[in-house]
Structure 1
Amino acid sequence: MSSSPGIKSREHVDMVYISIETAIALASVLGNVLVVVVVCVNRALRNTTFCFIVSLAVADIAVGVLVIPLAIIISLGFSTQFYTCLFLSCLLLIITQSSILSLLAIAIDRYLRVKIPTRYCIIVTQGRAYVAVCLCWILSFLTGLVPMIGWNNRDAQANHSSSSEIVCKFTTVIRMDYMVYFNFFGWVVVPLTIMIALYAEIFRVIRRQLNRRAEATCDGDRYYRKELKLAKSLALVVFLFAVCWLPIHIINCIDFFCSKCYLPKFATYIGIFMSHVNSALNPLVYAFRIKRFRVTLVQITRRCMLCKSTEPTPCPTSTPAITEKVDANL
């Protein structure tokens, strides 16, 4: 007996979905592993800003290694116990939250650098940067695991015993009011709003300082021009995050506030794809926008893939001046 057209169509959609997600996962892992390697190889990039960028890269690697495979498994609707499915779904939320908190930490770091440039190195030390990264990840785990302590759809599965199995779907175990009110409004909209305000202030301060030095050539002018270039690159990372993640959250809001509204399945898939693609875009921004990162990446590529020797990255023997530190970032 031949298979029904509906089953064949479903299998085709699943294969397309899995193929696209696999390609995104590979690109995300490869690109962000290179980010970590570049920062490790080039000592000039081992500063507080790139400490947070590495944290973001680790979160993006986790997207490729954990989130996308889990998303594929959950989309196929395998059968498991309720809390097993809930924990797997919470892992997706933890990684997402770590990304946005790392972006917020980067924005705060750049704000302090232009707002208090003379005291920045005293206040923002490498040790404090490591503590901030740890706090970002701890907070991500705490907020992502909230459904595990009760804010979930367990009541909707009351007719199932604790040992019975369910078809594992994200919306089956995660409550939509949690996704909209707590996750989106509380931990996406608020941090994004703060980041937009911080970058707006960063650009205002830099423009004001550059206007004051318009008729003079000095180290301060060079410092703020370099800061402006890096701030634009990092603001682009935030912009791409917002563009890639807002669609899936908007779909969740429509589903929650307008349960009778029709949402085509492909719209949900596009929203999921865009949220995952974001993890593969950040390395491209660094490579095309940050010169020192791009140079180091080219050197690594020539050495590892083309078997060519590279010139060592020059490292200053004395403590660099404030403008030289900015050059290292760019």
Structure 2
Amino acid sequence: MEETELCFPQLNTSCVKPKRPLSDTVLIYMILSFISLLTAALNLLVIISISHFKQLHTPTNSLILSLAVSDFFVGFLLLFQSMLIDGCWYIGDFMCVLCWCIDYIITFSAVGNMTLISIDRYVAICDPLHYSIRVTQKRVQVCVCLCWICSLFCFIVFFKDNLKQPGQYNSCVGECVIMVSLSEQVVGFFIYFILPITVIVVLYMRVFVVAVSQARAMRSHITTVTVQGSRKVTAKKSEVKAARTLGVVVGVFIICFCPYYCVSLADQENLFNASSAAYVICLYYFNSCLNPLIYASFYPWFRKCTKVIVTLQILKSGSSDTNIL
């Protein structure tokens, strides 16, 4: 008989390592490490760009910055998640709860940031005359802070039992298990998925309709469009482009998150095998790596900022005043 391999051979209560070919384990480690480092590096470029260059200090970019911060932490979180590839958790029960804490907080804050981005684009496109009055830098910063605080508060409420005694639900040493009741899962599912996704889709449908009408007006050399009855406003091409770009970000977000949330309340053992479940989780995390790539594809300022940062021109005096738009 093949000898059973334990996570902690010196302990009789240790978990048993699942059997997996060494080549598969090495390949998974390499892929996850690459995605983790790429995610952290790309989002760090976004964080530095928006934080450093004064021209990028706008309400919309403040929301993008908050989203980049949550995506940046996802990159580091993947390094810890890779420990579970061989089925063992080696760094203790407290770190297990802490990693779950970071996971849920950054995930829920990302959902909140996506909702705020949708609201921002809705006001910018559908009510441009009042945008500068309603959406100010201070108000956006307050909303971002509330988003992160609410994520932390909800985590504490949902995981209070796990925080009291970390590891109490582990069946063996080397396991990382967090227990959430079905009622709490249902409440969280509606608060953090159904409600925000509904708001996002409804707002972006409205934004899409208005953006299309503005694009047609601009192609017809019409400089004004009617918004809210008889009010006339100037069509802003940059706002429409920003709405389209962030629309792609939101669309990719929904595509990446839907499979994970759709099975979160279901019996995953009956729906998925280990491989398909891994793909769903990887897609869930890979969204954090895609966002900066979307910015690089649609935003010239991001490509220019990246060049300034990589060539270390950012270290020069007065680089924050560089014209990158």
TM (norm. structure 1) is 0.77
Percent identical residues: 26
Structure 2, unmatched stretches of 5+, are 6-16, 226-232
* Matching of residue 251 in structure 1 with residue 263 in structure 2: yes
The CA distance in 2 between the partners of 1:31 and 1:41, in whole Å, is 15
| Deviation string, structure 1 residues 152-185 (Cα, Å, up to 9, x no partner) | 9x8x968x8xxx975433xx32336267413333
Instruction: Give the structure with the higher percent helix.
Output: 1
Q: Are the equivalent residues in 1 in contact too, given 2:186–2:265 (CA < 8 A)?
A: no
The CA distance in 2 between the partners of 1:180 and 1:115, in whole Å, is 35
The CA distance in 2 between the partners of 1:173 and 1:70, in whole Å, is 15
The CA distance in 2 between the partners of 1:233 and 1:208, in whole Å, is 17
Judged with a 3 Å threshold, the aligned counterparts in structure 2 of structure 1 residues 73 and 212 are, in CA distance, closer, same or farther, namely same
Alignment counterpart, residue 69 of structure 1, candidates 50, 72, 79:
79
- Farther-moved stretch of structure 1 (100-109 vs 290-299): 290-299
| Deviation string, structure 1 residues 181-201 (Cα, Å, up to 9, x no partner) | 133333022211211111111
* Matching of residue 177 in structure 1 with residue 182 in structure 2: yes
The CA distance in 1 between the partners of 2:65 and 2:224, in whole Å, is 29
* Matching of residue 194 in structure 1 with residue 199 in structure 2: yes
Q: What is the count of residue pairs matched by the alignment?
A: 301
Judged with a 3 Å threshold, the aligned counterparts in structure 2 of structure 1 residues 174 and 19 are, in CA distance, closer, same or farther, namely farther
RMSD between aligned alpha carbons?
Answer: 3.6
Judged with a 3 Å threshold, the aligned counterparts in structure 2 of structure 1 residues 64 and 278 are, in CA distance, closer, same or farther, namely same
The CA distance in 1 between the partners of 2:129 and 2:81, in whole Å, is 46
Alignment counterpart, residue 235 of structure 1, candidates 247, 255, 270:
247
Judged with a 3 Å threshold, the aligned counterparts in structure 2 of structure 1 residues 4 and 77 are, in CA distance, closer, same or farther, namely closer
Q: CA deviation at 1:314?
A: 3.1
Q: Are the equivalent residues in 1 in contact too, given 2:124–2:131 (CA < 8 A)?
A: yes
Judged with a 3 Å threshold, the aligned counterparts in structure 2 of structure 1 residues 37 and 87 are, in CA distance, closer, same or farther, namely closer
Q: Are the equivalent residues in 2 in contact too, given 1:89–1:174 (CA < 8 A)?
A: no
**Structure 2 equivalent of residue 148 of structure 1:** 159
TM (norm. structure 2) is 0.78
* Matching of residue 110 in structure 1 with residue 128 in structure 2: no
> Alignment partner of 1:77: what SS?
coil
> Alignment partner of 2:263: what SS?
helix
Q: Output aligned runs, 1:13-52, within 5 Å.
A: 13-52=24-63
Q: Output aligned runs, 1:205-224, within 5 Å.
A: 205-211=210-216, 215-218=220-223, 223-224=235-236
Letter in 2 for 1:73: M
Q: CA deviation at 1:85?
A: 3.3
The CA distance in 1 between the partners of 2:263 and 2:18, in whole Å, is 26
Q: CA deviation at 1:10?
A: 5.3
